[in-house]
Amino acid sequence: MTAVGQRVGETQRPSTPGPAGFRETLKNRDFRLLWGAQVAAQLGDKFFAFSLLLSIYSLTHLYLSDAALLLAYTIPAVFLSVPAGIFADRYDKKTLMIWTNLSRGVMVLGVPALELTGVAQHQVIPLYVITLVFAGVGQLFAPAEAASIPSLVERSQISAATSLFTVTIVVTIVLSVPLASIAQRVLGLEGPYYFGAGLFMAASGAIWMIRTRLAANPERVEPGGERTTSTMQELKEVWLVIRRSPVLPFAFGMLTLALVIVFTIFALSAGYMQHVLLRRPQDSYILLLPATVGMVVAGTVVSRRSGAGHGERSVVRGLALAGLAMLVLGVLPPILDRVRLVGGLVPLAIVLAVLFGIGLGAVLIPSLVLIQEATEDATRGRIFGGAFLAINLAIALPLLVAGAIADAVGSSDVIAFMGLSLLVIGVVASIRGWGGGSGRGTPTSVTAA
């Protein structure tokens, strides 16, 4: 009989008491390889996404068109997130991650192929189509990667590992901007796509080198002897786990809210740089870099201060801080512009971006850690599939609405309103004690009474 979370044929990892930092976690060879694969795959993904955002904005000059591109990333997730989570539990995670990265690398090359053949010149529809296919394949990678982390690290390292993975997502967004520009100068306009394809191939190679078995769970047998092979039955089990947990609904809600903000800001960033900060759309790194510094600070603090109830408190406080920073970021620049103090716009935006990054990191990272710690191996892939489904369902409408409103009234007003909303939610959550349930360290089982 194996312990909860231990895979058949694997040796259970000894648990080290107390939280672990980034350095200790990165001593683990297989985790380093998974993290390296994430860095390469995320850079490849962001090269693809950022290059397309700039191309489409230059063709249409509309916030809504960029929002529609990001929406094309989310539509496949609405239909595929939960099935992808089930795939991650049923099939070998290592094989899934290798083939999804190889496939995405090939598809990235499809964009320069379309441009060279003249199919996509001055047209955005072909770019949306290839984005849909690319995002659909990527849905298999996300839950497999997220569900692999606890198999590669000790329980005390889950917080640091999750923090590192979350910060890496934002870091790669920042790095993709200057690196994509360099690739364009060296290799031409199609350079980022070629470089991105190579990064996906490198990610596949890193995952192939992982030694730890990430094999599928054997079919589970219910007390009555009936094997649970029905997809619908497994979906019902996912919602049963979520409903019984005192932590998962709160963690899912906060994670979804934070990522709605991330995607919306990303969609508005090019226009905000041009019309509010009076810089080129390609200069988005001016805000993304300090926001990443804030995320790193938040990730470092969270990874060393894990404990009962601390994650929930961090989420609520982070929500309020991120909201306050966004509110000022939306309201103050137009005021400075009216009084002819435009010289202070960029320094102010940098400071606010750091505060926003700290707040966002304090929401994203503990939310992911709470989900990791409140689930067990047998259902973790499906739980993350459910999380990604909820996130992408929630992202779709705000993206379109924010893009349309920004075209009408400006990006600064939209950012200010979103910041005020976050601030109010954070205050209400603090007063009402949301997320204060116990049971964080006890994974919920689908067979629990």
- CATH code of residue 40: 1.20.1250.20
Which of the residue ranges 31-45, 104-118, 119-133, 374-388 has the most confident prediction, judged by mean pLDDT?
A: 31-45
Model confidence at 178, pLDDT cuts 50, 70, 90, reads: low
Residues 6+ apart with CB under 8 A from 113: none
Q: Is the pLDDT of residue 5 over 70?
A: no
Within a domain: 223: no
User: In the chain, what's the furthest Cα-to-Cα distance?
Assistant: 75
Within a domain: 150: yes
Average pLDDT for 140-161: 80
Within a domain: 145: yes
pLDDT in tens, 238-250: 677 777 777 888 8
* Rounded distance between C-alpha atoms, residue 373 and residue 439, angstroms: 10
55: containing domain: 22-215+231-432
CA neighbours closer than 13 Å in the CB half-sphere of residue 185 = 6
Question: Do 93 and 144 contact (CB within 8 A), yes or no?
Answer: yes
Q: Is the pLDDT of residue 120 over 50?
A: yes
pLDDT in tens, 262-277: 777 777 877 788 788 8
Within a domain: 447: no
Q: Is the pLDDT of residue 149 over 60?
A: yes
> What pLDDT score does 439 carry?
46
Within a domain: 17: no
Model confidence at 111, pLDDT cuts 50, 70, 90, reads: confident
Nearest to 22 by CA among 32, 37, 12: 32
Average pLDDT for 65-69: 80
Residue 80 structure tokens:
């595929």
> What pLDDT score does 1 carry?
31
Q: Is the pLDDT of residue 185 over 50?
A: yes
Rounded to the nearest 5 degrees, what angle is found at the Cα of 419, between the Cα atoms of 294 and 249?
80
Within a domain: 13: no
* Rounded distance between C-alpha atoms, residue 199 and residue 37, angstroms: 9
Model confidence at 34, pLDDT cuts 50, 70, 90, reads: very high
Q: Is the pLDDT of residue 306 over 80?
A: no
Q: How does DSSP classify residue 410?
A: -
pLDDT in tens, 316-358: 888 899 999 999 988 888 888 777 776 778 888 899 999 998 9
> What pLDDT score does 170 carry?
62
Nearest to 257 by CA among 332, 359, 172, 353: 359
- Could you give the 3-state DSSP secondary structure of residue 227? strand
Model confidence at 369, pLDDT cuts 50, 70, 90, reads: confident
One-letter amino acid of 331: V
Within a domain: 6: no
Residue 421 structure tokens:
């909303």
Q: Is the pLDDT of residue 141 over 70?
A: yes
Q: Is the pLDDT of residue 37 over 90?
A: yes
> Which of 191-200, 243-252, 357-366, 387-396 shows the lowest mean pLDDT across its residues?
387-396
pTM above 0.75, yes or no: no
pLDDT in tens, 211-238: 888 776 555 444 444 444 455 665 676 6
Q: How many domains is the chain partitioned into structurally?
A: 1
Q: Is the pLDDT of residue 135 over 50?
A: yes
Question: Do 233 and 80 contact (CB within 8 A), yes or no?
Answer: no
> What pLDDT score does 91 carry?
79
Within a domain: 15: no
